[in-house]
């Protein structure tokens, strides 16, 4: 097998394309309806990684012409007070999207908080109503990271129909929805989900035409787990010392795969781009509701 370097799937460039499109559509919505899409982000405590994520989300909103407000709460806030804030944002007509940055401090019940977000403002698409709609192929919002991966595959021209896609990881945020999107009609991949109890995970991964790693373990995917010519998508963002490292051994993988996402600069920027897309969608829901009220 000659060693040829894989095509690098440039998440930064693809995310910019998506963000520019959102910016154009945002201006159109504003000029048509006066509605400025507005994301309300909630940050509890001051976890450094969360601080960076939230700052990047705010910056991306402003650059694309969306409004963004950050609600900073002390790490010691109790469940009832946080729920009160979520309820206030739910009933604020000026707010279209609500994002509670995870992880929350351990004394808080994250699931109860996320379930309290109005499904029509749930731009993370974590609410079970939005999960159900997605599973049934009639999504309101798509979860940002899996949606970002789908967008990358689409814009890179990766064929999915009839291909074997293997997803490593079964989280509610990435693994499970990723598999659900790959199997949907029109995408038509044959999907396998691997996890910590999968027998001979290497052998399963080696059968993948599209391999998606979302395990959260640095360099978990070794070169010998990749089928020559496979498309490798690395969702991992692991901090190792000062460096960010993916779930894939990039150096080994890039001489075996046909295309691969780098870390950083791969899936990461896509997540934020899709969040902007969802916030625009949420604002459009409000526009549609007010149009419907006007015509009835």
Phi and psi at 214, nearest 5°, equal -140, 60
Residues 39-58 that bind ligand GUN (CB under 6 A): 53
Angstrom CA distances, 284 to 15, 35, 86, stand at 21, 8, 21
The yes or no reply on residue 277 touching ligand GUN (CB under 6 A) is: no
| Active-site annotation holds for 287 | no
Q: Which of 18, 86, 99, 221 binds ligand GUN (CB under 6 A)?
A: 99
Q: How far apart are CA 161 and CA 208, in angstroms?
A: 13
Helix (H) or strand (E) holding 42: strand 38-44
Q: How far apart are CA 274 and CA 269, in angstroms?
A: 9
The CA distance from 156 to 241, in Å, is 32
Q: Which of 101, 120, 278, 281 binds ligand GUN (CB under 6 A)?
A: 101
Which listed range, 81-89, 96-104, 105-113, 189-197, lies at the site for ligand GUN (CB under 6 A)? 96-104
Decide if 7 is catalytic: no
Q: Using the minimum distance from each CB to ligand GUN, give the nearer residue, 6 or 214.
A: 214
The verdict on 144 binding ligand GUN (CB under 6 A) reads yes
Told to judge if 81 belongs to the known catalytic residues of this protein, a careful annotator would answer no
Q: Write down how long the chain is.
A: 296
Question: With respect to ligand GUN, which residue has the nearer C-beta, 39 or 194?
Answer: 39
What are 107's two structure tokens?
């004394």
* Structure-block tokens of residue 218: 């640095």
Query: Taking the complex as a whole, how short is the minimal distance between the CB of residue 36 and ligand GUN, in angstroms?
Result: 22
* 122, 124, 234, 247: the active-site residue: 124
How far apart are alpha carbons 183 and 35 in whole angstroms? 35
Q: In which residue are the tokens 């089928």 written?
A: 227
Q: What b/e sequence results for 75-88 when a residue is b if at least 16 CB atoms lie within 10 Å of its CB, and e otherwise? A: eebeeeebeebbee
Which uninterrupted H or E stretch holds 98? Answer: strand 97-100
> With CB under 6 A, what is the number of residues at the site for ligand GUN?
8
- Which of 130, 184, 271, 278 is close enough to bind ligand GUN by CB under 6 A? 271
Find the shortest distance in angstroms from Cβ 124 to ligand GUN.
5
Instruction: Determine if 124 is a binding residue for ligand GUN (CB under 6 A).
Output: yes
Q: Which is nearer to ligand GUN, 168 or 267 (CB)?
A: 267
Least gap, CB of 102 to ligand GUN (angstroms):
4
- Binding to ligand GUN by CB under 6 A, coded x per residue (else -) over 186-225, reads ----------------------------------------
**Pairing relationship of beta strands 210-213 and 190-194 according to DSSP bridges:** unpaired
Catalytic residues: 57, 101, 124
Where does this chain bind ligand GUN (CB under 6 A)?
53, 99-102, 124, 144, 271
């Amino acid at each position: 097998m000659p060693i040829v370097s894989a095509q690098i799937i440039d998440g930064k460039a693809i995310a910019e394309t998506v963000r520019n499109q959102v910016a154009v559509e945002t201006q159109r919505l504003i000029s048509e309806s006066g509605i400025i899409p507005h994301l309300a982000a909630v940050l509890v405590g001051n976890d450094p990684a969360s601080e960076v994520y939230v700052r990047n989300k705010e910056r991306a909103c402003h650059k694309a012409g969306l409004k963004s407000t950050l609600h900073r709460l002390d790490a010691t806030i109790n469940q009832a007070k946080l729920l009160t804030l979520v309820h206030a944002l739910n009933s604020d007509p000026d707010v279209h999207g609500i994002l509670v940055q995870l992880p929350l401090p351990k004394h808080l019940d994250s699931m109860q908080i996320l379930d309290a977000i109005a499904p029509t403002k749930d731009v993370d698409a974590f609410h079970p109503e939005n999960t159900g709609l997605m599973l049934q192929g009639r999504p309101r919002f798509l979860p940002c990271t899996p949606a970002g991966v789908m967008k990358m595959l689409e814009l890179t021209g990766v064929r999915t129909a009839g291909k074997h896609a293997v997803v490593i990881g079964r989280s509610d945020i990435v693994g499970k929805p990723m598999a659900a999107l790959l199997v949907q009609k029109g995408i038509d991949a044959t999907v396998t989900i691997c996890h910590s109890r999968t027998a001979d995970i290497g052998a399963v991964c080696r059968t993948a035409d599209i391999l998606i790693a979302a395990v959260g373990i640095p360099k978990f995917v070794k070169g010998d787990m990749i089928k020559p010519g496979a498309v490798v998508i690395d969702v991992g963002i692991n901090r190792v010392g000062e460096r960010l490292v993916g779930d894939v051994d990039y150096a080994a993988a890039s001489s075996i795969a046909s295309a691969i996402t780098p870390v950083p600069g791969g899936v990461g920027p896509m997540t934020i781009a899709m969040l902007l897309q969802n916030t625009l969608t949420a604002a459009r829901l409000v526009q549609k509701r007010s149009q419907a009220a006007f015509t009835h």
